[in-house]
Structure 1
Amino acid sequence: MIDHHHRLVQRKVQFDYSDSPLHWIPGEAEASHVINVIHMMLPAGELWFCRLYNKALPFVKDARLRDDVQGFIRQEAMHSRAHSGALERYLSVHNIDSSKYLKVMDYLFEQLLSDTPFGYQLFNRRPWLQRWWIGQRCAIVAAVEHFTCVLGKWILEADALDRAKADPVLLDLFRWHGAEEVEHRNVAHDLHVHLGGSFVSRQLWMFVVWPLIVWLFAFGTRTIARQDPSLTKPRGFFAIWRDSAKRGLLPRISSVATSFLRYFKPWYHPDHEANTQEALDYLARSPAASRAARA
């Protein structure tokens, strides 16, 4: 673990989407849809993080790391709640049916990555296997959290979204979330190391996580775009990503690919991926986080 320590707190944010348009980046329907996929992708996954980490807690012997893990759980639970709210009070209001996408997410987390994959009860009957499976899934979280940190840093610094006059409510939602991803970026990696997880297992799971995340974004973008009456002929995901990134509305493909390669360095640690103070500075001026702090 790193030498300095920042205590993680839950910020009970709330958002009012009543004036937020589906194309929350004005004139940029496709880029809006790519980022809106997060509302469909994250609620189930982040609740799965919380359930998994609660099962990992009894194996955490370091008091500081235990506090970090508990703070991580509280923050991820709030992320899930916030994006579920956007799904119900924002995307659904704009007639976006996400049921097919949510079925995929439920299958992923309730079947493939559950405590008993495909109902295979041997995991419950063998404590050592149960412990091993917790460790493997913590390696998956570490890989995911690498990308959420990278994306969180990007959206904190994405001035193009301000110049495009993006909807302030949704921009605050994504930046609040991104700031907290930067804030707790070390926890998943440190937990996996503490549990005895190896460098090799983290690298192997990254080869699963990377294409899965890209596919989920592509599938989600297609799901939303096909229901958008303003898009008569929706384009492919990579074409959207490339063109939107040129305007600064999405992270550049090259920067995301470079971050993927950095994960394989033997000396990799997520602390070097971003700056905690940058995240805290935004959280201090975030409208939603400020309201939560006053409450």
Structure 2
Amino acid sequence: MRTTPLAPSDYSLSVVAVPPLPLRPDLSIDADANGMLLRHIEQGGVRIVLFGGNANMYHIDLGRMRTLLALLAEQTGPEMSVLPSIGPDLGRMLDHAPLLRDAGFGQAMALPAGFPSDPAGIERGLRLAVQATGFPLVLYVKREGYLAPGQIERLVRDGVVSFVKYAIERADPVGDRTLADILAAIGPERVASGMAETPLHAHIGQDGLATWTSGGVCIAPQAAMALLAAYRVGDAAAIERLRAPFLEFEAVRVKFGGIPVLHEAVTLSGIADMGPILPMLSNLRAAHRPEVQAVTDGLMAIERVVTAQAGLGSA
């Protein structure tokens, strides 16, 4: 695991993988499956991994958190930056802080607080969390009015927030006024698109965000990195070809649930068996597996194509 914190410029070099958390039938963490998935992601060229919503970190207890942090430190190479998530409530952020320090972590994401919370309280809570961790946090903006752009600017200036994951869903992501105000406050180099590949034509192609977070990258990491490269040079044909299977995958995630679909898809891909999902979520229904298998196969197919091209020395 890389121990130096990510700078804003580091985010522009990699898509951010957001993997599921593999569990055994007794709901203990499956260390072997976790290692296999992390190796697959890392071998595909991805250099940032974030354990957040897809890993159901909202419901993780302190014992599993301690186990997971130890595994993440052991199972990733020296170039891989790992961001666990803490919270979403203040109590858990404060409880997680000493675990992060003991495991050698110097960065993490704060999960978005739910009810009851308000912008002023969220800002104060983040400041208290950073006093406990000793390092700034990645801010996850998932709903309108969570924090005002001026608050986010102040938190960045004060060393409380290092980076922002922006994930307010829009029917059309073009011309998002809230995002525009955040970018004006802290700059696009400090913001990642947080809704996988669906809004990339706006968020990366037009707004110039640093990178994006993705579940599909866990299955097709080389293809995702090739897509990032295509956006960097403005290769429209490559963008459309590479993005298509990710969009199909995301459409099925929207249909059946983003977390259970990704959890099942990694298993169906043969990369590693993810097992059960930690409650309070449940696994994908068996009737939905054929549709998930089809879009998973699409990701695996584009990954094989990109891998073959890389083996031939193609761009």
TM-score by length of 1: 0.29
TM-score by length of 2: 0.28
By relative contact order (CA 8 Å, sep 6+), the higher-ranking structure is: 1
Q: When you count strand as a share of all residues, which structure comes out higher?
A: 2
Q: When you count helix as a share of all residues, which structure comes out higher?
A: 1
